[in-house]
Amino acid sequence: MPETDIGSTDYGDMRNVVTDVKVPTSTLDSPANQKETPYVNDKWTEQLGFYDNIPEVMAVVDAKARWCLGKGFVADPATEMLLDMIKGTSKDTFNTILENMIRIYQIGGDAFAEIIRNDDGVLINLKPLSPSNMRIIANDKGIIIRYEQIDKDGKRIGDGFDPDKIFHLMRN
């Protein structure tokens, strides 16, 4: 049974019990007197490791991805038919691509998919791209001007992508 006599209370010396928390300073990414500012998420493999190895992190990220997508999408019949044709890398659906992209941007901050159109400009596919292989290039005003696919050594592959050729989801 608890003590209810206020006169018998005691206090402790919290200075010896509570430890101070020290964190390093941080700065925001922003253009700094240069024409182009590149950004690559160098911590993607570490962030993915947290997701893969900590079940609580995986559960929260997966739950959010499922919740955001809900029961899918509602669209007019023509748009539904168009979205039903999207297959990602082969066996995906539009819903699984979106769910995976939500999961990826929750893990690392950015998710990318190449927008593929036919000769008439009609969307025919979304091909997911690994965040570890993408470089974002912004102009001196902070506006994204292109995306570049890079190899493991950071060397550019191909000519890059205009912003309207990449479906980019950002966490912040």
- How far is residue 92's CA from residue 90's CA, in Å, rounded to a whole number? 6
The pLDDT of residue 134 is 96
Question: In which residue are the tokens 């596919």 written?
Answer: 125
* Least confident segment among 12-21, 41-50, 77-86, 129-138: 12-21
- Say what percent of the chain tops pLDDT 70: 89
Nearest to 94 by CA among 102, 80, 84, 104: 84
Q: Domains in the chain, please, with CATH? A: 35-170 (3.40.140)
- How far is residue 131's CA from residue 114's CA, in Å, rounded to a whole number? 12
Is 80 exceeded by the pLDDT of residue 9?
no
Question: In which residue are the tokens 């590149």 written?
Answer: 38
The pLDDT of residue 70 is 87
Predicted confidence (pLDDT) per residue in 111-125, tens digit: 999 999 999 999 999
